[in-house]
Chains A and B, each alone.
Chain A
Amino acid sequence: MKLSRLFFILGLLAILSGCASSTPRMADVRAFAAEAPKLGAYHELTERYRNTYQREQPYLSPEADARERQLDLRRQQACDDFVKLQYGLQAYMQTLGTLAGDKQYDLEDQVKNLGGGIKAWPGSGLEERHVNAYAGLTRLVARGLTRQLQENAVNDLLRDGQQPVQEVLDAMRTLLRLYDKSSDNEQHTVIGMLDSEMPFLDARRDRLLLALAKARQQDKQAEFRLIGLRYTLARQHLEEIAQQHRALVAQLPAQP
């Protein structure tokens, strides 16, 4: 076996693909992809928006109920589309994470196998330094090849994704703002009904009803305070994701 020839070929490959780039950027991309679960809040809040009628219904007059039922029909249909907004984005982020993943393209195991395989035959004329050089070169080749492909793929994805990602995130933030405002009206409808009916209760005769109404009032106030915070937080998360993506795109090497 022409060992020297193999070394030559391996060496050549290593030189050809020697421009293997560093990985801190890939770590940044992975960190970005790891934010994908934060899109879950958008999904939950869309579902909450979808169920507006169900929550409001007990507090509505028959006329208001009829109007709300019509609105509910439209809302149900629209929400089917609204939840879909995040799916493309989620798939994009997950793919980016897989592409930039460090495990999938870690060839250390193969390289170790290679080293081990050669070491199994001592006294064959293969000296230790040969084996090490061998393994080292193969490692370089493997890294050079895959790492460059990996970087290119990630860069392409970031570059092509820039506009659609920002547009979709923008729309999601707008929808969250609109859900929030709609939720304010729901809050005033529900709590307002209790507020405006309670003064007509007799403190002695309707004691039980008054107590229940007050308790309901407190529960609803707490619920809407919490929901308001969640809307704010979800919008902040989307803003962070948009900023991170912009930063990654800004770091892209100039296109050849």
Chain B
Amino acid sequence: MADLSQQARFETLADQLSACADALHRRLMAALRKPVPAGSPPAIPQGVAQALFENEVALRQRANALYLDAAVVAASGLAVHQQALLELTARAQQKIDKIDRIKDLVDVAAELLALGAALAGGKPDKVLSPLEKLKHHLDAL
């Protein structure tokens, strides 16, 4: 669970940097929107505005790098569970194979029974077809 707190630390720090960037942006926009006489440029020079915005972007990039760190921590240590899931799935696949064979077994049993019924009925000419069917089936298994 140490990983969890580390992830939380990264994320909280990134949240704080993002909030700082938001505050910076609000200040910048307030300065840019300050009423000025019609036709004249905003109250702060473009170079200053750009430098301020550059800082804001740098803060957001730092925050996003921390979000990535947090994500990497969150996704790591899961390899064990990933492996467990894959192994589990492989094992179940084998079980499916087993059940499939029982299905075949029932098939074969049904054909055997049909053959038995044909013999019991004393109709030799009718025996041939179930016999062939069974033979094919066993060959196919």
Contact = CB atoms under 8 A, between A and B. Distances in A.
The size class of the interface chain A forms with chain B is: 35 or more
Given A1-B116, A157-B88, A95 B93 contact: yes
Contacts of B75: 78, 81-82, 85, 171, 175
B81 A163 contact: yes
Given A71-B64, A105-B103, A178-B74, A99 B92 contact: yes
A134 to B, nearest CB: 7
A165 interface: yes
Interface string B10-34: 0100110010011001001100110
Contacts, number: 219
Majority SS at the chain B contact face = helix
A132 interface: no
A124 B121 contact: yes
A143 to B, nearest CB: 10
B71 A124 contact: no
Contact of B57 (A87, A104, A189): A189
Nearest to B113: A114
Interface of A: 1, 3, 6, 52, 60-61, 63-64, 67-68, 71, 74-75, 78, 81-82, 84-85, 87-89, 91-92, 95-96, 98-99, 104-105, 107, 110-111, 113-114, 117-118, 120-121, 124-126, 134, 138, 141-142, 145-146, 149-150, 153, 156-157, 160-161, 163-165, 167-168, 171, 174-175, 178-179, 181-182, 184-186, 188-189, 192-193, 195-197, 199-200
